[in-house]
Amino acid sequence: MNTSQRTFVVGVDASDDSNEALQWARGAAVAGDRIVVVHAWDIPTMIGIDSATMVPAYDLGDVAAQGLAELVERQDDDRIEPVTRQGHAGRAIVDEAEDRDADVIVVGHRGSGRASVVLGSTANHVVHHTKRPVVVVRGEHNTAPESVVVGVDDNDLDDGENESVRALRWAQGLGGVREIQVVHSWFVPSMIAGRFSNPGADFDKMDTAAIAIAERVMAAAGPAPEGVTVTAQPINGTPEFALIEASLTADLVVVGSRGRGGFTHLLLGSTSLDLASHSHSPVAIIR
């Protein structure tokens, strides 16, 4: 992430979710950064049995722009620039981020479970239709991130670069971060329904292997900025479960994603999708 001047694109509407997204971006941005707040509007259509009729409307664009200007004025933050676009909210945010060459997109989403995502939301559209880093603001830790958890693996790391390395580098570039836990999860199938013992499993060896994977990613990502402590940690459980548990105490959870995008990825699901739906803290998804 460019630390000289970063551009945050934030999707806003009248919801509490979007207000929390804006406040998160304001806390994460530093002096000199730019926060572009995007509000999408469209002309509603009422569809009847025999016909589809456009609902008479005033100049909705002007109304949307006025409302957004009032929201920005209340923030009293000269880093914020308001933008209104006509059309689908998710597409508007993604398009604005492309036009601005944004460093990160920030959206709010408090839905729980895959159903809320499959049925459609602005956050869902953005996560699946951009290659830029996306922060989904949810949970109770909606402040500037100081303590960050980065979930990693060493898949395809033979050339020293994979999605986990990129995720860790992104986390290290965040302003205000003081502590990063680089975690790799391991899971024994018998560890279900309260069974946490397996005579054939060497848990210490698994912890050691998980730490080695995390340290391999850390070495590939390079040194952290001065004042940022980075440590390797093993966590037990499936990646989804372990990272959701870690989000209870983290200010931000960061994961890399090799998602293919589009409807296929939506149906198949992923660790990123589970986190965006269930995390107790904001989640950053790094393509």
Percentage, residues of the chain above pLDDT 90: 56
Query: Does 100 have pLDDT greater than 70?
Result: yes
Contacts of 192 (CB under 8 A, 6+ apart): none
- Give pTM, 2 decimals: 0.85
Average pLDDT of span 52-60: 58
Tens of pLDDT, residues 229-259: 999 999 988 899 999 999 999 999 999 987 5
User: What's the pLDDT at 250?
Assistant: 94
User: What's the pLDDT at 144?
Assistant: 81
User: What's the pLDDT at 188?
Assistant: 73
Answer whether 1-138 and 140-287 agree in fold: yes
Q: Which of 273, 268, 240, 278 is nearest to 151 (CA)?
A: 240
Q: How many CA atoms lie within 13 A of 227 on its CB side?
A: 7
User: What's the pLDDT at 51?
Assistant: 53
Query: Does 260 have pLDDT greater than 80?
Result: no
| Domain spans in the chain, listed from the N-terminal domain onward | 1-138, 140-287
CATH architecture assignment, domain 1-138: 3-Layer(aba) Sandwich (3.40)
User: What's the pLDDT at 123?
Assistant: 86
Label residue 54 by pLDDT band (50, 70, 90). low
Top mean pLDDT of 93-97, 127-131, 153-157 is at 93-97
Class of domain 140-287: alpha beta
